[in-house]
Structure 1
Amino acid sequence: MINASEELRREHELIKTALNLLEKIASGIVQKVNPDVSDLTELINFVIVFADKCHHGKEEDLYFPSLEEAGIPNHGGPIGVMLSEHDQGRKYIREMKENISGQNSDLQVFADAAFAYVALMRNHIEKENNILFMMGDRVMPESVQNDLLIRFKEHEEKVIDKEKHEEFYALIERLSQKYLH
């Protein structure tokens, strides 16, 4: 049986590569290396669409409610912490987006927000992978897991189609070749 958490963990791997890219580019900005703004724009679009709308959307709309139904608390519990961190991440995403284009853009503010986002999300992913998902795997029955996988696919098709999904993987690979190798 494949657990729903396995799909979320796979997505975390791609997101972690995007975090490495953000960190590398932000470090370059601090060292006065001007980044390719089109790369930043594409990377922030990936974070907004893939990481937040698609991935966090699966968690918030489908996975977390299933965890609650299985007895894992939201308020005052691990789900509430994850939701709060998603909201904090969105704040950093807005700061990054606002500071890469337009006349009021400030790459140093972008870099600061990128560093904060990277630190938050790395810690967040570790908690989900090593605590919350393991709890979910123990308490959610196979029928719920199977239903979640079907609903994940439906959610993804609504947010991004298969072609856009593949484009995001290709984007992260292309940017990795440019910045991480």
Structure 2
Amino acid sequence: MSATEILREDHLHVKRLEHIIIKCYEALYREEDVPFSDIEKITMIITEFLDAIHHAREENSYFPCVGPSGDFEADVRKFLIEHEFGRKIAVQITHHLGKWKSGEEDREPVARFLRTYAIYLMDHLSKEDKFFDEAEKALDPAEEKEMSDYFLAAKAAAQRVDELVKEIDDLETRNWYRAEH
């Protein structure tokens, strides 16, 4: 599996997370109960999978390889800025969730920042998917192989991805997620 294919596979998991986030903020806006532990799990997946693993793969390996190629430098810069924007939204979710858990009524800001994060993901992933189509053509096969080997050699990260995908599976079984409205 090439590095680009690994990143695309990550995107499939992230799109599942995006759907979970949408269902979560919709339930919160309807004043339905979503356990704090489930919202914490969502933020943990954002932090540990999306940021620490997926974005790290892109920022530390993929982007440096494709950035100098062709006209990709400007795209890479935009993606780096968008990653930072996503991190700032995630911090706000965690901040307001903490306030809500401590007794303040912060349901609405949690829902609002979850909604903002879902919108960010939808936009960001669609642009990155198009970018991957073009970047894959520009990458030297040896570079693709080297990055792929690097991604797969990081066994701890690969094992953590498997664990976090199981967390996504678990969230998809929750009543608030499965409820039809």
Determine if the TM-score, normalized by the shorter chain, exceeds 0.5. yes
Q: CA deviation at 1:105?
A: 6.5
Is residue 2:83 matched to residue 1:86?
Answer: yes
SS at match of 2:32: coil
| CA positional deviation for 1:151 | 1.7
Task: Look up the match of 1:96.
Answer: 93
Q: Could you say what the CA RMSD is over the residues aligned between the two structures, in angstroms? A: 1.7
Contact kept, 8 Å, 1:3 with 1:145, in 2: the verdict is yes
CA distance in 2, matches of 1:112, 1:8: 28
More divergent stretch after superposition (54-63 vs 2-11):
2-11
For 1:166, the aligned partner's letter is D
Shift of the alpha carbon at 1:165? 2.5
Q: What is aligned with 1:168?
A: 164
How far apart in 2 are the matches of 1:30 and 1:42? 19
CA 1:105–1:63 in 2, change beyond 3 Å: closer, same or farther? farther
Aligned 8 A contact 1:21 1:180 in 2: no
Structure 2 runs not aligned, ≥5 long: none
Cα deviation code 1:45-85 (max 9, x no counterpart): 011000011000000111000002333443xx111111111
Alignment partners' CA distance in 1, 2:150 and 2:6:
12
Q: Does the C-alpha gap of structure 1 residues 43 and 91 become closer, same or farther in structure 2, counting only changes over 3 Å?
A: same
SS at match of 1:120: helix
Query: Does the CA-based 8 Å contact 1:3-1:137 persist in structure 2?
Result: no
Q: Work out the number of aligned pairs and report it.
A: 174
CA distance in 2, matches of 1:51, 1:86: 10
Partner residue in 1 for 2:22: 23
Q: What SS does structure 2 have at the residue aligned with 1:99?
A: helix
In structure 1, list runs of 5 or more residues that go unmatched.
none
Change (3 A) 1:168 1:66: same
User: TM-score normalised to the size of structure 1?
Assistant: 0.89
Contact 2:25/2:111 (8 A) holds in 1: yes
Q: Which moved more, 1:137-146 or 1:102-111?
A: 102-111
1:153 aligns with 2:149: no
The residue type paired with residue 6 of structure 1 is: E
**Which residue identity lines up with residue 66 of structure 1 in the other structure?**
C
Residues in 2 aligned to 1:146 and 1:128: alpha-carbon distance in whole angstroms: 20
Aligned to 1:46: 45
Residues 44, 97 of structure 1: 8 Å contact kept? yes
